[in-house]
Amino acid sequence: MNAYCDLLLFDVSAERFALPLADIAAVLDSSDVQRGAGIDARGVGVLRSRDAFVTVYEPLHVLGVPCSVADPLLLILTHADRTIGLLVDHAEAALAVPVHDVRDLSAMGGTDGVVVGALRPATQWVTLLDTQSLVHALLDRRPAHAA
């Protein structure tokens, strides 16, 4: 990883997380999510995006915390040939964040590689996530935080 990275910081409940900004295809309002039938066990709905449907997931099953706002935002994440949506409470870009002080948490076990480390770009600690592992954990429909 370079000495500086553009990150998308996002909140879920009282927790703050970050993903590389380049890995985020879009940040959308979740009002167009069609909730209900036709989705897998962990999905909460689908969003029609161009000519395809994107399954939307609640973060609880992977990050261990649920959204806490009535109208969450939707992060669109793409990995390989799959595009998924992740509901979050709030999101904001943080540009040129120094990542040389990231505290490595990859060896803490039980995270399936989703948690990379922790950093403090401002006044609050942020859990840095690996996008590929996050998408994989959501698609596997199993909690990443389980042993």
Q: What is the CATH number of the domain that holds 23?
A: 2.40.50.180
Please check whether residue 46 lies inside any domain of the structure.
yes
Please check whether residue 146 lies inside any domain of the structure.
no
Choice among 24-38, 74-88, 94-108, 127-141 with the minimum mean pLDDT: 94-108
Domain residues for 59? 4-140
Strand runs (DSSP E) across the chain, as ranges? 4-12, 15-20, 24-29, 34-35, 43-49, 52-57, 73-79, 82-88, 90-98, 103-104, 115-119, 126-129
pLDDT value for 143: 41
Percent of the chain with pLDDT over 90: 41
**Structural domains counted in the chain:** 1
How confident is the model over 42-89, as pLDDT tens digits?
A: 788 888 877 788 889 999 989 999 999 999 999 999 877 788 999 999
What's the token pair of residue 44?
Answer: 């909460």
Please check whether residue 147 lies inside any domain of the structure.
no
- Positive/negative CA dihedral, 130, 77, 24, 67: negative
Please check whether residue 56 lies inside any domain of the structure.
yes
Q: How confident is the model at residue 111 (pLDDT cuts 50, 70, 90)?
A: low
pLDDT value for 82: 81
